[in-house]
Structure 1
Amino acid sequence: MKRVLITGIKGFTGRYVAAELERHGWEVCGIGSHEEAGDTRYRRVDLLDTTGLRTVIAEVQPDAVVHLAAIAFVGHGDADAFYTVNLIGTRNLLAALAACGKTPECVLLASSANVYGNATEGVLGEAAPANPANDYAVSKLAMEYMARLWMDKLPIVIARPFNYTGVGQSESFLLPKIVGHFRRGEEVVELGNLDVWRDFSDVRAVAEAYRRLLETAPAGATVNVCSGRTHSLREVISMAEEICGRPISVQVNPAFVRANEVKSLCGDASRLRSIIGDWTTPPLVETLRWMLAQ
């Protein structure tokens, strides 16, 4: 049984990735920055604690790593945190892995499609120019460049997931916020710009893609994880209204309109499929139905 280390295992994505890997015969261990008693597979260690990180990794000796721990909410108020966690924290992790005495078969780093910014209209492949439009995206692109310095020592794969959602995601993200309002029977929801178009995947499909990337281990590759379809927030509202059988009133709050909002993000998953084989994510309406049924 191969052992995988998941950073950020207690987060939204981490829980699904852990369950996916366990279902397919992996022994799962995880780290995070929060205390949690009673879980023998979990160790509390901060990515900025270089000594603690090296100690844990030397103990776990992972066969593979999925690095999910990050400040992921674009609207997070502390710009410094994006860089200390997403960039410096990742560097600390790679240094600890390189020093642990056992080279993993694959180190999967979760970056973000936000690195593309507003660079290009239409479908974005991995060769599209980066044009990050906020500190979160800049921190992820900087992480990608930094990781290249370690590719001669570690078999690194960089995943660029586009937007994805599912049960358990924080309501600080737009789709869970909309779903939460419907589930609570609220009549009004305050949103920002409704005319932003996003490529949405289901978190369960993203977890599957990550597992299959670990198993194929295309070292040095940068890979989009996306549906190849876009939906506007107006369409999301309409889908939820149809599923629930009732309307909701949308009020546009100027405070929620971001100055550097990326207008449209649609990805090309051709490279992903060329590496792992056939892969699909459920239509967004099915994901919303799952979320609304909880």
Structure 2
Amino acid sequence: MLSLLKWCKTMTETISGKKVFVTGADGFIGSHLVEQLVASGANVRALVYYNSWNEKGWLRDVAKETLDDVELFTGDVRDAERMRQGVTGCDYVFHLSSLIAIPYSYDAPRSYVDTNVTGALNVLQACRESDALTRLVHVSTSEVYGTAQQVPISEDHPLVGQSPYSASKIAADKMAESFYLSFGLPVVTARPFNTFGPRQTARAVIPTIASQLLAGRETLNLGALTPTRDFNFALDTADGMLALALCKEAEGQVVNIGSGEEWSIAQTVEMLCEIVGRKVEIVTDEVRIRPEKSEVNRLLADTLKMQRLTGWKSRVPFYEGLSKTVEWVERNLHYFDVDRYAK
């Protein structure tokens, strides 16, 4: 947490001792954010998607001594009343709950509207009705930019709905914007680029590659190799969200969170092969190929606004982050079914 403490020295706010509500806390990025919040002294209420198995999602991977300090709050962002209950009494809200897999959005677009748009509306409305709220961090995605029309991609880049997923996130972002302009809601939209790291599933390309290599597969089943992405390690992304939460000047703003570097999928494969110590054949998996007009070919973040507002910048080098991810995947290979691609 040294990096966050450095940023906080230039800010008047602190998260320590504050009540914080995190939606999507049981997800990949959300679980890392919960850890960072607890380490910063926050009192965390973590939304966990209700299920009859009482599963905590990726919060099960969080150390017990950390989780003991977290209030687990079961529910669903599509339930407006439950979101009011979750937001009640909280100083800060981080809204991460979302359906995120792009391929499944081609099959079930209504599900994305219900969760990503209506869910965001429920959180926004709950925050508007709160008398305790200091700031809401609404979490977007770089996918809303579509294929880059200018590089690096700044926050004023046109928004393009190249998939039902990205269209649903654009709608949610615009809803957040409307609540700031119409009602003065203290909301900031954090727009992270491609986050990776421990706890990411095979829905994403890096754990897909790592799990197949570690499982001893002789071939890699992948989609397009030429697209480039701005990969940012999960702890850096979580720190960026925290920095924005503590920045009053960010209210009403859309702010990119990224590394400012881009790597092709082919380059990523090469580095992962080096880390694992294996060379394998690459086979095109048609399931992973997006429709031609839906493929986002290049994503590279302009992070100047983020640095100006908060002083934040990505700190974990890509190769180091890949190595940490491989270590985690190797310890948890039982989570991965390398013979089946999960949308």
Do they fold alike, i.e. is TM over 0.5? yes
Instruction: Output the amino acid matched with 1:83.
Output: V
Contact (CA 8 Å) 1:160, 1:223: kept in 2 or not? yes
- Of the three residues 50, 54, 64, the one matched with 2:84 is 54
Instruction: Output the amino acid matched with 1:248.
Output: V
> Are 1:111 and 2:145 an aligned pair?
no
Distance 1:29 1:56 in 2: 8
RMSD (CA atoms): 1.6
> 1:201–1:182: structure 2 CA closer, same or farther, 3 Å change rule?
same
Q: Secondary structure at the match of 1:149?
A: helix
- Provide TM-score, normalisation by structure 1: 0.94
Distance 1:12 1:280 in 2: 18
> Are 1:253 and 2:280 an aligned pair?
no
Distance 2:153 2:114 in 1: 28
Per-residue deviation, residues 85-143 of structure 1 (Å, max 9, x unmatched):
111111011111222333x1110000111111025142111111112211111111111
Distance 1:144 1:12 in 2: 21
> Are 1:224 and 2:256 an aligned pair?
yes
> Are 1:12 and 2:28 an aligned pair?
yes
Q: In structure 1, what is the equivalent of residue 12 of structure 2?
A: none
Contact (CA 8 Å) 2:150, 2:157: kept in 1 or not? no
Gaps of 5+ in 1: none
Per-residue deviation, residues 201-258 of structure 1 (Å, max 9, x unmatched):
0001000111111112321111000111111111011001111222021101233210
Instruction: Output the amino acid matched with 1:45.
Output: G
- Provide TM-score, normalisation by structure 2: 0.81
> Are 1:85 and 2:115 an aligned pair?
yes
Alpha-carbon shift at residue 174 of structure 1 (Å): 0.9
Per-residue deviation, residues 126-175 of structure 1 (Å, max 9, x unmatched):
11111221111111111111112211342000011110100110111111
Q: Secondary structure at the match of 1:41?
A: strand
Could you tell me the percent identity over the aligned residues? 27
> 1:278–1:43: structure 2 CA closer, same or farther, 3 Å change rule?
closer
Instruction: Output the amino acid matched with 2:286.
Output: P
Matches within 5 A, 1:64-75: 64-75=92-103
Instruction: Output the amino acid matched with 1:106.
Output: R
> 1:24–1:88: structure 2 CA closer, same or farther, 3 Å change rule?
same
Q: Secondary structure at the match of 2:44?
A: strand
- Of the three residues 30, 41, 46, the one matched with 1:25 is 41
Q: In structure 1, what is the equivalent of residue 340 of structure 2?
A: none
Distance 2:19 2:117 in 1: 25
Q: In structure 1, what is the equivalent of residue 296 of structure 2?
A: 262
Matches within 5 A, 1:170-181: 170-181=201-212
> Are 1:150 and 2:184 an aligned pair?
no
Distance 1:56 1:215 in 2: 20
> 1:213–1:192: structure 2 CA closer, same or farther, 3 Å change rule?
same
Q: Secondary structure at the match of 1:88?
A: helix
Contact (CA 8 Å) 1:32, 1:69: kept in 2 or not? no
Instruction: Output the amino acid matched with 1:100.
Output: S
Alpha-carbon shift at residue 281 of structure 1 (Å): 3.4
Matches within 5 A, 1:159-174: 159-174=190-205
Distance 1:17 1:26 in 2: 11
Q: In structure 2, what is the equivalent of residue 205 of structure 1?
A: 236
Contact (CA 8 Å) 2:84, 2:126: kept in 1 or not? yes
Which structure: greater helix fraction?
Answer: 2
Gaps of 5+ in 2: 1-16, 57-67, 329-343
Q: Secondary structure at the match of 2:206?
A: helix
